Amino acid sequence: MKIAVITGSSSGMGRDFAIKIDKEYTLDEIWLIARREERLKELGKELKTKARILSYDLSSPSSIEEYKDLLNETKPEVEILVNAAGFGVFGAFEKSGEKQSDIVVLNDKALVDVTYTTLPYLQSGSSIVNLGSNSSWQPVPYIAVYGASKAFVLSFSRALSMELKPRGIRVLCVCPGWIKTEFFDRAVHDDTIVYYDRFYESKDVVERAMKDLKKGRLVSILGFPVRMQVRLVKFLPVKLIMKIWCRQQKKPC
């Protein structure tokens, strides 16, 4: 049985990846993973491929064990794994620190756990897509833990791509700029972040990511301005980059 596994598929990027993969891949099932079961069922009705609805909270070890048991029971061939589950909290760390560790658990630990658990079922030609961020490239004050969590995803994805190359498994890290999705409903609680240079559509980010995956690229970035910003960040001192960011957000620096 050939399948795709997509975490965070109840909304945003995960949902759009499911729709795109449904169109481009010939599969027996698409496994949709997220907490909101009703949302997953609604998405499943839109797909031509049979959807297996897995209402898991990936921050819970019991959900990882359930997923592991299901893989062991069905023994599928995973054509593509998309790790899109994640969230962020915008604000000063000292005022929201109690929420920040949850970001690390879902954005990093769960991603690692799902990837490790799925790896035995990937074959030559299979792919892993991890959702990073434009924040992956630099320290981001007032989004400190979220940015650091995405820096982990980028570093992990690049290293893993080299380790899995002999097996013929591709790994892509998608690092988009600002995307207007439900992410903001959860992340933005005040006016901590006031400057957004531009927004991109989730489906356009996914479209670019799937093209970059076929080309064998390690990182996918939609938008010339975002790519230029990434290049600039590589050459400027980190302290200066953080000062520029804080000035944009009207924060002391």
195 catalytic residue (yes or no): no
Q: Tell me which residue of 154, 116, 100, 114 sits closest to 132, measured CA to CA.
A: 154
d(CA 141, CA 115): 29
- 100's tokens: 């920040």
Cβ neighbours, 10 Å, residue 57: 14
**Amino acid identity for residue 187 in this structure:** A
Residue 90: strand pairing partners: none
Catalytic residue among 25, 67, 146, 200: 146
Bridge pairing between strands 2-7 and 29-34: parallel
Closest CA relative to residue 16, chosen from 222, 227, 209:
209
The CA–CA distances, whole Å, from 78 to 5, 107, 159, 233, 252 equal: 7, 21, 21, 36, 48
The residues assigned a catalytic role are 146
